[in-house]
Amino acid sequence: MKPWKKIAIGVGVVLALALIVGFTVHQSSKNVVMVQTGKVQREDLATIVSASGEIKPKTYVNIGANAFGKITHLYVKEGDKVKKGQLLVQLENVQSAADVNANEAALQAAQTDAIAADAALKTSEADLQRAQADYDRNKLDWVRAQSLFKDGLIAKSDFDSRKDAWATADAGLMQSQARVAQAKAQNDSAQKHVTQAKANLVRVTDVLQKTTYDAPYDGVVTNLPVREGESVVIGIQNALGSTLMTIADMSVITAEVKVDETDIVNVRLGQPAEIAIDAIPKKVFHGTVSEIGDNAIVRSSGVSTSQQATASEEAKDFKVVVTLTDPPEDLRPGLSTTAKITTATRSNVVSVPIQSLTIRTKQQIEAQNNPPGSVHAAAPSKEVASKNKKEDEVQGVFVIRNKKAMFVPVTTGVMGTSDIEVLDGLKEGDEVITGSYKVLRTLRPGSSVKIDNSVPKKEEEESS
């Protein structure tokens, strides 16, 4: 064989081998899935429940009008600090003050009449005692006269005069008794008049007092919707009366937030919270949960479910009050706020990124040791789906072992912001698949994988 033929055959064999190798590499690369990974590590985790709401003082009161009238003096302005008992508002009180003066005079007159009635009663009682004494003396004379007249020791005229004297004394006694009864009745009537005058004075004094308004406690005027010269009215039936102002006790400040119904079961009294206030950026305040609402609030309407006649399937929230431990001095009620409540903490626990968790069926897990020889990143087959699919689903992560994605069932614990605690199934240092989302959703257990952590996950997911 000629040399050039040998060279040609050798070149052909080399090209054939190169084509075979290239085709094999190409086919094998088609079955390899590109993934991003992360390490199983130990860290401190905290479960956070985030909720929004507004700043409110723990104690505040809306001072409403208790009488009709015009505001004659307004002694404070919005934002003023007030002390307990400080005069805030004065309404027109000419008529009510005159009523008080008139009833005070009427009470004094009634008390004078009562004194006179009491004196008359005492006089009548004294007359009764005198009449009783006369009656007793004349009765003795009459009894003695009867004995003497029977023995013929006194004349008939003397006997008759003693009899008449006794009869007169008896009539005088009855008259004095009647006068005492009349004086007692007059005295009782005078005392009732005094009581009535006192009651009238209390009534008109209350009306007068309702024209002035004092601060119920130390606080700040947070709302002042009225001005001097305006007329205010009291509430009647379902109509609300005029609100003069709102006094808030700013010594204890709270953040009243609404927690989603799915998170409220983890919230407990005394749990710590971080408070962010929109009006005070780049600063975090601290507090503790001091109150948890029992009634759900419909998110769209803000109405409690206990006030609804029919059941609602809308999203619901629960009111949670967080008391701030370090409120700033210039804090104002109504400011928007966000509370991050720490519901659970764990120290030095094994954790993985949350996005690495996925679900697979028992059939897929059993088949991971014998993966299909063709496509490895296909969607689960329809044959796997069944009525009891939920019961067959297992939570776990894909661990890189011998360049293959092996599904490992795990039990999870506390969930942090980006990581979650793993109670069993993994050890520190294991490499788990964290992305992309499309790959994790369709990756079959036992598939061959290639690690590429150079592309950020967000960019890769957006491009896919």
Strands 336-353 and 212-214: unpaired
Here the tokens at position 321 are 């009050």
Hey, how many other C-beta atoms are within 10 angstroms of the C-beta on 24? 10
Hey, how many other C-beta atoms are within 10 angstroms of the C-beta on 436? 23
DSSP 120: H
Nearest-CA neighbor of 352 among 414, 405, 403? 414
User: Any residues with CB less than 8 A from the CB of 366 and at least 6 apart, and which?
Assistant: none
The tens place of each residue's pLDDT in the chain, 464 residues long, gives 556 566 666 666 666 665 654 544 444 445 688 888 999 999 998 889 999 999 999 888 999 998 889 999 999 999 899 999 999 999 999 999 999 999 999 999 999 999 999 999 999 999 999 999 998 988 898 888 888 888 878 888 888 888 888 899 889 889 999 999 999 999 999 999 999 999 999 999 999 999 999 999 999 998 999 999 999 998 876 677 889 999 998 888 999 999 999 999 999 999 999 999 999 988 999 999 999 998 888 888 888 877 766 777 788 899 999 999 988 887 888 899 999 999 988 899 999 999 999 988 888 777 665 555 444 444 444 444 445 555 678 899 999 988 888 899 999 988 888 899 999 888 899 999 998 888 888 888 888 888 888 755 444 444 44
Determine contact, residues 63/243, Cβ cutoff 8 Å. yes
Spatial distance between the Cα atoms of 103 and 114, rounded to a whole number of angstroms: 16
| Burial state string for 4-20 with b = 16 or more CB within 10 A and e = fewer than 16 | eeeeeeeeeeeeeeeee
Return the pLDDT at 331.
83
On the question of a cis peptide bond just before residue 189, with omega within 30 degrees of 0, the verdict is no
Which domains are present in the chain?
32-45+349-463 (2.40.420.20), 95-209 (1.10.287.470), 253-347 (2.40.30.170)
Q: What is the pTM of this model?
A: 0.61
Return the pLDDT at 461.
46
At position 252, the amino acid (one-letter code) is V
Return the pLDDT at 24.
46
Distances (CA, A) of 158 to 134, 147, 228: 18, 13, 92
Distance from chain centroid for Cα 84:
25
The distance between the two most distant Cα atoms of the chain, rounded to a whole number of Å, is 206
Distances (CA, A) of 411 to 364, 422, 425: 18, 6, 7
